[in-house]
Homo-oligomer: A and B are copies of this chain.
């Protein structure tokens, strides 16, 4: 049996964390990355050399000889660059952002979105096989190609429009960013008692792994879940020098009490 390699040649517009992770993963999956663009020479060169492909820091020098143009840019820059005449008419233009509409490419003919839902770093490259990827195409034909590309990277590919992506992004803010903020507040409370953050790590891991098998509302424990107002009042006293933390404690406790599984 002969392996069928992906035919598409890809240009990356952007060379940040997401571009680095996604381009390396696509190259491993058999795609040809032909060129990398970044605003800064340093970033363009670094990723170009990592991939062993051409690179440029000049938008005018982006090759027209590719099949896919993947824009991995910050939300504030994407709309402007997406409107420029990059690539050729038959190429597919994709962005990778959760909160931006596919129609940011409406001056192009074939376009869509490939949104990998994970937090990336340049140092430790991600394994894409378990990373959820949300896809959307301007039409069915384009969507099929984007879906195939995503499936070559990950087992978890979902079709999702802007509203779905935004809702997922919001869910991610709660599950990731806000959770991390809870860890930070916990660390600051421990500092007040002269205790190290390490002491919380077993509990943090236990909580994160429990929801792999039990729905979070069913996994809920703690004083609010038990309606233990004595303990809650003692905690609120400990927070009395910070009204916003006190309010936070009350709102989250009320949310827990109002949603018993």
How far is A121 from B215 in the complex, measured between Cα atoms in Å?
A: 16
Q: How far is the CB of A67 from chain B (nearest CB, A)?
A: 28
Contact A220 B181 (CB under 8 A): yes
Q: Which residues of B contact A219 (CB under 8 A)?
A: 180
Chain B CB within 8 A of A164 CB: yes
Q: Which residues of B contact A117 (CB under 8 A)?
A: 199, 202-203
Q: Which residues of B contact A203 (CB under 8 A)?
A: 117-119, 172, 175-176
Q: How far is the CB of A125 from chain B (nearest CB, A)?
A: 13
Contact B235 A170 (CB under 8 A): yes
Chain B CB within 8 A of A85 CB: no
Report the stretch among A8-16, A29-37, A106-114, A223-231 that lies at the interface: A223-231
Chain B CB within 8 A of A200 CB: yes
Copies of this chain in the oligomer: 2
Contact B132 A221 (CB under 8 A): no
Contact A184 B259 (CB under 8 A): yes
Contact B118 A206 (CB under 8 A): yes
Within 8 A of B (CB), among A169-221: 169-187, 189-190, 192-195, 197-212, 215-217, 219-221
Contact A202 B118 (CB under 8 A): yes
Contact A202 B248 (CB under 8 A): no
Question: Known: A158-B199, A167-B195. Contact between A187 and B216, CB under 8 A?
Answer: yes
Within 8 A of B (CB), among A97-140: 99, 117-119, 130-132
Partner of A204, one of B164, B208, B255, B259: B208
List 18 additional contacts besides A168-B193, A175-B183, A179-B179; criterion CB under 8 Å: A117-B202, A118-B206, A119-B206, A119-B221, A166-B238, A168-B190, A168-B195, A171-B190, A175-B204, A177-B223, A180-B216, A180-B220, A181-B255, A184-B216, A186-B216, A187-B216, A201-B212, A207-B208
A interface with B by C-beta (< 8 Å): 75-76, 99, 117-119, 130-132, 156, 158, 160, 163-164, 166-187, 189-190, 192-195, 197-212, 215-217, 219-225, 228, 230-231, 234-235, 238-239, 244-245, 247-249, 251-252, 254-256, 259
26 A-B pairs in the complex with CB atoms less than 8 angstroms apart? A76-B230, A118-B203, A119-B207, A130-B202, A131-B202, A132-B202, A156-B199, A164-B195, A167-B189, A167-B192, A169-B231, A171-B195, A173-B222, A178-B182, A179-B207, A180-B211, A180-B221, A181-B220, A185-B255, A197-B211, A197-B215, A201-B211, A204-B208, A205-B208, A208-B208, A247-B247
